[in-house]
Amino acid sequence: MPAISVRMRLIAVITLVAAVGLAVVGVAVYSVERQRILAQVDERLAAHLESARFLVAQGPGGDADWASSADALHDVVQRMSPDDNTGAMGIVDGAIALVPGVALDVDLAGATGLVTRVVAETSDGDPVVGTFTDDGVAWRYLATPVAAGPAGSSAGVFVMVYDLEGELAEIGVAGQVYLVSTVIAVLIVAAVAWFAAGRLLRPLRDMRRTAEHVSARSLSERIPVHGRDDVSDLARTMNDMLDRLDDALESQRSLVSDVGHELKTPITIVRGYLEVMDPDDPADVRETAVLAVDELERMGVLVQDLAQAAMLLGPTPITPHPTDAADLVRQIVRKAEGIDGAEVTSGRVADVVALVDPARITQALLQLAQNAVTHGGGRMTIGSRVAGDGLEIWVRDHGPGVPDEAKSHVFDRFRRGTDDREPEAAGSGLGLHIVDVIARAHGGAIRVVDAEGGGAVFVITVPLVATARPGSAGSRQVAPPGPPPPLPPAPPADDLADSTVARS
């Protein structure tokens, strides 16, 4: 079975609905108009009945003294006002005896069936209104006995008929005109629907063509966007999705390239030493084994950091909930004190509630603390403050700082710092990148600035929610309007919340 396009289905539905709607309107109007005409026919017959009674009651010359019923019937038939699609006759002794003096639209001269019927229906002396159908005709008739003159004279019957087909012919013509107009209107609706559906569905066709062209090698195709309707919004959403896919593909390619480059060095080193190792020299074998294990451990650290970074790029990298930021920072300070070589002091701490994932924020701050030990000599200060609508948590070290040209890419993947004293301490190059991913997962950011007196300050900014910590005496600490003040180079002694701890 051939597929039917969405455009054809839309046009079919719109055209069908329009046709059914117009048909329903036409049938309703026709029915109402038909009932109105039939009611008018009955009203006219009732008016003729009253006129006949008035003429009989008035009599010839206004004295109400008729010579016979036939004379009264003759006067009624002759003086009755003719109308379109009407006919009249007078019946005496069961036969047609009188017809109007002028030709009417309905000739009742041969209507013997009607004569027989009305004579039987008026035998009790009461007038009758009914419908007579025979041999292709449909008449609405009035039959009323006419009795006048001396007592005992035979009564006549006056009959007035309306041709219903003639009366309804006018709306029949109007119905034909409406039918033709309906067909034309439906064709116009179909044509407009064809044009409108084509324009509305054009973004969908563009999406299909774009999807056909998009591949893993090329995600540069984008859907043209026209207008501001729902379909155009869908096109914009698709383009945003393609942008994200393009970024993800580029990131994947970059990751594969970086990982290949990072693994190439230890593999080359291990292979080179194994190739030149003298298996008959136990000392050379032990030295080569130690070197191979060291390189493999470095590769293990790299793989573990890659797994951590991959987890943070998943669909639910964090689980944020309202957290006492002051208590969280104090816990991080105590944990950072346990890092070998760390000398940690606590700066001023903001007493607020923030919407964060405590475990991930702890991971990020401890990574910055480890970075301060590796590259900053180990002496550091950790604190937090409110700046505008965000909470800033910072780690200040006393190392050589970050050169200006390196600040823009210090958080890139596999970007290592250098340490002249311990070159091997440069690490996997993923630590600061993981911190950046954690900050962005919270809807925040991380930056590095120079500290007064030397060193660097790493600042993580996360959204701030709620007011002051429940139960605290002070109100929420909110920075004044404008840019936040600079971070302190090092907290003075009276601002320390915890004592200095040094570990060897």
Same domain, 140 and 97: yes
CA atoms in the 13 A half-sphere facing the CB of 436:
16
Same domain, 39 and 102: yes
Question: What is the model's pLDDT at position 391?
Answer: 93
Tokens of 164: 């219903």
Give burial (CB, 10 Å; 0-12/13-18/19+) of 359.
Answer: exposed
Q: What are phi and psi of 438, to 5 degrees?
A: -65, -45
Q: Kindly give the residue spans of alpha helices, DSSP state H, lying in 122-229.
A: 164-213
Same domain, 460 and 394: yes
Question: What is the model's pLDDT at position 279?
Answer: 87
Question: What is the model's pLDDT at position 332?
Answer: 93
Report if residue 265 sits inside a domain.
Answer: yes
Give burial (CB, 10 Å; 0-12/13-18/19+) of 299.
Answer: middle
Of 311, 335, 355, the one marking the end of a domain is 311
Of 151, 171, 191, the one marking the end of a domain is 171
Question: Across-strand partners of 129?
Answer: 142
Question: What is the model's pLDDT at position 469?
Answer: 40
Contact 378, 338 (CB under 8 A): no
């924020």: which residue's tokens? 361
Tell me what percent of the chain is helix, strand and coil, each rounded to the nearest 5: 50, 20, 30
How far apart CA 368 and CA 439 sit, in angstroms, is: 12
How far apart CA 322 and CA 356 sit, in angstroms, is: 7
- The DSSP bridge pattern shows strands 352-356 and 379-387 to be unpaired
Same domain, 122 and 155: yes
Q: Which domain holds residue 73?
A: 6-171
The answer to whether the Cα torsion of 442, 429, 306, 504 is positive or negative is: negative
Report if residue 31 sits inside a domain.
Answer: yes
Length of the chain: 504
For residue 110, what is the DSSP state?
T
Same domain, 341 and 401: yes
Report if residue 281 sits inside a domain.
Answer: yes
The order of strands in the sheet holding 86-92 is: 95-98, 86-92, 156-163, 137-146, 128-134
């559906």: which residue's tokens? 197
How far apart CA 129 and CA 305 sit, in angstroms, is: 102
Report if residue 198 sits inside a domain.
Answer: no
Contact 352, 465 (CB under 8 A): no
Please give the sequence-ordered ranges of beta strands (E in DSSP) within 422-485, or none if there are none: 445-450, 456-468
Report if residue 182 sits inside a domain.
Answer: no
Q: What is the pLDDT along the chain (504 residues), one digit of tens a residue?
A: 567 788 888 899 999 999 999 999 999 999 999 999 999 999 999 999 998 888 888 877 666 677 788 888 888 888 887 788 999 999 988 888 888 878 888 888 888 899 999 999 998 889 999 999 988 889 999 999 988 877 656 778 999 999 999 999 888 888 899 999 999 999 999 999 999 888 877 777 777 777 777 765 667 777 777 777 777 788 888 888 888 888 777 777 776 776 776 677 778 888 888 888 888 888 888 888 888 888 888 777 777 777 767 666 666 778 888 999 999 999 999 999 998 889 999 999 999 998 899 999 998 999 899 989 988 888 999 999 998 888 999 999 988 888 888 887 888 876 655 444 444 444 556 778 888 888 988 889 999 999 888 889 999 999 876 433 443 333 333 333 333 444 544 443 334 333 333 332
* Cα–Cα separations (whole angstroms), residue 366 to 351, 376, 396, 443: 20, 14, 12, 20
How far apart CA 294 and CA 465 sit, in angstroms, is: 46
Same domain, 283 and 326: no
How far apart CA 65 and CA 25 sit, in angstroms, is: 56
Single-letter code of the amino acid located at 141: Y
Give burial (CB, 10 Å; 0-12/13-18/19+) of 50.
Answer: exposed
- The DSSP bridge pattern shows strands 343-346 and 379-387 to be parallel
How far apart CA 13 and CA 260 sit, in angstroms, is: 58
Same domain, 142 and 74: yes
Report if residue 179 sits inside a domain.
Answer: no
Tokens of 313: 């790029």
Question: What is the model's pLDDT at position 492?
Answer: 39
Same domain, 265 and 152: no
Report if residue 159 sits inside a domain.
Answer: yes
Tally of structural domains, the chain? 3
């003040």: which residue's tokens? 485
Pick from 75, 240, 88: nearest CA to 161: 88
How far apart CA 160 and CA 423 sit, in angstroms, is: 124
How far apart CA 195 and CA 182 sit, in angstroms, is: 20
User: How many angstroms from the chain centroid is the CA of residue 432?
Assistant: 40
Pick from 439, 438, 319, 436: nearest CA to 391: 439
Please give the sequence-ordered ranges of beta strands (E in DSSP) within 175-316, or none if there are none: none
Contact 449, 487 (CB under 8 A): yes
Same domain, 279 and 328: no
How far apart CA 296 and CA 131 sit, in angstroms, is: 110
Q: Which helix (H) or strand (E) covers residue 456, if one does?
A: strand 456-468
Report if residue 455 sits inside a domain.
Answer: yes
Greatest CA span in the chain, whole angstroms?
Answer: 162
Of 261, 280, 311, the one marking the end of a domain is 311
Same domain, 286 and 341: no
SS3 assignment, position 158: strand
Same domain, 378 and 279: no
Indicate which CATH number applies to the domain containing 372: 3.30.565.10
How far apart CA 453 and CA 375 sit, in angstroms, is: 16
Same domain, 259 and 380: no
Indicate which CATH number applies to the domain containing 126: 3.30.450.20
Q: How many C-beta neighbours within 10 Å does residue 168 have?
A: 19
How far apart CA 312 and CA 306 sit, in angstroms, is: 10
